[in-house]
Amino acid sequence: MRGLLRPARQETYEKVFGMVYVGLTTNLLLAISCAPLLVALALVRNPLASWPFFAVLSAVCAPALAGAFRCFALLDEGSTAVFTAFWNGYRRAAVRALVTWLTGAAVVSVLVVDIMVVGRTSWGPALLPFFVTAGALVVATTVTVLVVVAESSRPVRGLVLPCLYLVARRWYLTLPTLMVLALAVGMVLLEPVFGVLLGMAPLLYAAWATSRFVVLPLLPKP
């Protein structure tokens, strides 16, 4: 009983407060970086009806995610220098992150159009699992590539196939990641600003941690 009532060590408190600080600050930096998208989502009543526009505008999230992933990586190393980590990750991975995001968004958009066209046919429902699986693989591969470019200088071209292979091989880890990402997207669609400011960092951290474990062989050795 005495052991249970014993106060936690100072290092424990510092670690907890450090995690809270990193999470809240990362949320703020994400909101600032993704401001054009958040403003558009707040103004448009039905974003899904204008999904091609938002698919292009969502590209502003790519460098922001790279910055957030860089913060998470340094947090695991004990650093709470959020501003420096975020903007360094943002700046160094911006171009590669944009290429990755826009390529993934283009492929997903093609799949969505195919679903809309094929869904009107009598045999369309039989192909629905294929399109859903393909879209899930594209989204998971895009996220894992962003995880790698946030921590390395490797070109995107050499990461797509290895990430796709690892995502498909460890599908049991990919599924929970996609569920977390779907929850994050749902929060942003329902409450664009408050969804990012209040709850985005924990969800992104969970998705990052799992994705990072999946692509660990592609990351630089410590």
Contacts of 82 (CB under 8 A, 6+ apart): 21, 22, 25, 26, 29, 71
Q: What is the pLDDT along the chain (222 residues), one digit of tens a residue?
A: 444 445 545 566 666 777 888 888 999 999 999 999 999 998 888 888 888 899 899 999 999 999 999 999 888 777 678 888 999 999 999 999 999 999 999 999 999 888 888 877 877 788 888 999 999 999 999 999 999 999 999 999 999 999 999 999 999 999 999 999 999 999 988 888 888 888 899 999 999 999 999 999 999 876
CB 96 within 8 A of CB 156: yes
d(CA 80, CA 35): 24
Angle between helices 61-76 and 82-118 (to 10 degrees): 130
Kindly list the distances between the CA atom of residue 37 and the CA atoms of 25, 47, 60, 64, in Å, as whole numbers in the listed order. Answer: 19, 11, 7, 12
DSSP state at residue 216: G
Kindly list the distances between the CA atom of residue 4 and the CA atoms of 8, 9, 15, in Å, as whole numbers in the listed order. Answer: 10, 13, 19
Q: Which residue in 93, 38, 34, 40 sits closest to 59, CA to CA?
A: 34
Kindly list the distances between the CA atom of residue 122 and the CA atoms of 12, 27, 128, in Å, as whole numbers in the listed order. Answer: 60, 45, 12
d(CA 85, CA 87): 6
Q: Which residue in 7, 125, 143 sits closest to 62, CA to CA?
A: 143
Query: What is the number of H-type helices and E-type strands within the chain?
Result: 10, 0
d(CA 33, CA 50): 22
